[in-house]
């Protein structure tokens, strides 16, 4: 069986008239765009056109590409090209803070945008709109081998002896932070104590076989390896199945709502704001839905999603869906779970030897 997800690589400097020529794809998440068009000015314009430098985390690469094509077909997007750089969310945010050119940033976690606000690179009011700065949602799911030979139906099955798990590394990946929160919080949702939740997370990490750097790297490791389970975004599982990969996925009864932000930078080309507006339009949200993301704009149709367990009802409502707001916001979450040495997840990783 061919593995289209593993063999597709797309380095995109996308013009409306040349999108097809720019497409040669690898579900590989860390790719940069080509150089600016000859004669481009410092704001990215050339011959009246504009270049939008998009820097993002790896998982929505294909969704972004689909939205870009639609945008380029609109009056606001005529002649606009894109240069893209993808990788783990935290790494990409730090790269922008350290000087990587960006007009539009797309991250897994709100704190990765907040870092750029503190650096003066994103306006403090970036999250003031109706969606609070979010452009797509998802939930944490469990991908398993075809036919689910280990009988994995939920979180408790993952800590049974002999189960091999892949999840990205919380030190670099936003996806990993969502995953570990979902694993921990399922115990709380079932009435367990925080001590019991930490004990569960310790058993969970003891069964982790690999901690790839990003959500996309984790998907590829699962597809090419022999692990029993991959903890992932629902949309990532759907996209892989759309691309011909043959595995199952489970939406646990208790999981976490993944909320993914995007923002324009303070020195962005004006076309970046036009693009963000399009992302949040009915047409833009429809493209995210097609790639398996849950929309952030109410009323967006969600039927007919290829690759979902039920294409007619692709986004089932879990019995218990925890949000970051339920946990006190990202400042509280990062302090409690991810602070180096003192955070719960950091302590568990050190105790289990699964910190890298």
Q: Is residue 9 part of a domain?
A: no
What pLDDT sits at residue 116?
98
Burial of 351 (0-12, 13-18, 19+ CB in 10 A): middle
Q: How far, rounded to the nearest angstrom, does the alpha carbon of residue 131 sit from its chain's CA centroid? A: 17
Residues 62 and 150 in one domain: no
Distance CA 91, CA 294 (A): 25
Would you say residue 18 lies in a domain? no
Is residue 322 in a domain? Answer: yes
pLDDT at 30: 40
Quick check: is 307 in a domain? Answer: no
Contact 258, 323 (CB under 8 A): no
Are 305 and 314 within 8 A, CB to CB? yes
Residues 336 and 221 in one domain: yes
* Same domain (yes/no): 189, 331: yes
Question: Does 148 lie in the same domain as 109?
Answer: no
Among 261, 208, 230, smallest CA distance to 60 is for 261
**Confidence (pLDDT) at 49:** 80
- 322 beta partners: 256
pTM: 0.86
Q: Which residues of 4-29 are buried (b: 16+ CB within 10 A; e: fewer)?
A: ebbebebebbbbbeebeebeebbbbb
Task: Specify whether 273 is located in the same domain as 326.
Answer: no
Select from 200, 169, 147, 173 the least CA-distant residue to 93: 173
| Residue 38 belongs to a domain | no
The domain that contains 95 carries what CATH number?
Answer: 3.40.190.10
- One domain for residues 213 and 343: yes
Give every CB contact of residue 49 below 8 A, 6+ residues apart in sequence.
37, 79, 80, 81
Q: What is the pLDDT of residue 48?
A: 60
Per-residue pLDDT for the chain (356 aa), expressed as one digit of tens each? 333 344 333 333 333 323 332 332 345 444 343 333 333 333 444 446 899 999 999 999 999 999 999 999 999 999 999 999 999 899 999 999 999 999 999 999 999 999 999 999 999 999 999 999 999 999 999 999 999 999 999 999 999 999 999 999 988 788 899 999 999 999 999 999 999 999 999 999 999 999 998 888 999 999 999 999 999 999 999 999 999 999 999 999 999 999 999 999 999 999 999 999 999 999 999 999 999 999 999 999 999 999 999 999 999 999 999 999 999 999 999 999 999 989 999 999 999 999 86
193: in domain: yes
**Which domain range does residue 218 map to?**
137-258+316-352
pLDDT value of position 195: 98
Residue 96 lies in a domain: yes
Q: What is the DSSP letter of 285?
A: H
Same domain, 183 and 250: yes
Task: Please give the tally of structural domains in the chain.
Answer: 2
Whether residues 346 and 249 fall in one domain: yes
If asked whether residues 90 and 211 sit together in one domain, one would say: no
Q: Let me know whether 173 and 212 are in one domain.
A: yes
Q: For residues 109 and 215, state if they share a domain.
A: no
- Residue 87 shares a structural domain with residue 183: no
Tell whether 39 is covered by a domain: no
């Amino acid at each position: 069986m061919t593995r289209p997800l593993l063999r597709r690589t797309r380095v995109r400097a996308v013009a409306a008239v040349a999108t097809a020529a720019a497409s040669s794809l690898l579900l590989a998440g860390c790719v940069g765009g080509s150089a600016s068009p000859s004669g481009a000015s410092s704001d990215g314009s050339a011959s009246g056109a504009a270049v939008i430098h998009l820097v993002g985390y790896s998982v929505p690469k294909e969704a972004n590409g689909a939205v870009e094509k639609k945008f380029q077909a609109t009056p606001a997007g005529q002649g606009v090209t894109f240069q893209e750089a993808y990788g783990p969310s935290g790494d990409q945010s730090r790269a922008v803070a350290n000087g990587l050119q960006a007009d539009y940033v797309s991250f897994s976690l709100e704190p990765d945008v907040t870092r750029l606000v503190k650096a003066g690179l994103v306006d403090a009011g970036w999250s003031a709109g109706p969606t609070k700065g979010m452009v797509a949602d998802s939930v944490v799911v469990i991908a398993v081998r075809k036919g689910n030979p280990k009988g994995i139906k939920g979180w408790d099955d993952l800590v049974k002896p002999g189960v091999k798990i892949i999840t990205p590394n919380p030190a670099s990946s936003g996806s990993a932070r969502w995953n570990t929160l979902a694993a921990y919080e399922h115990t709380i949702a079932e009435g367990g104590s925080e001590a019991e939740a930490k004990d569960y997370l310790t058993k969970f990490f003891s069964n982790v076989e690999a901690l790839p750097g990003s959500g996309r790297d984790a998907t590829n490791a699962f597809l090419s390896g022999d692990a029993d389970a991959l903890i992932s975004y629902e949309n990532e599982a759907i996209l892989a199945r759309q691309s011909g990969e043959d595995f199952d996925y489970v939406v646990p009864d208790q999981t976490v709502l993944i909320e993914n932000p995007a923002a324009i930078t303070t020195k962005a080309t004006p076309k970046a704001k036009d693009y963000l507006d399009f992302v949040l339009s009915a047409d833009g949200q429809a493209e995210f839905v097609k790639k398996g993301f849950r929309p952030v704009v109410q009323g967006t149709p969600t039927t007919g999603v290829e690759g979902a367990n039920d294409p007619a009802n692709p986004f089932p409502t879990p019995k218990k869906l925890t949000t970051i707001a339920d946990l006190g916001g990202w400042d509280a979450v990062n302090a409690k779970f991810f602070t180096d040495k003192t955070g719960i997840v950091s302590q568990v990783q050190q105790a289990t030897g699964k910190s890298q």
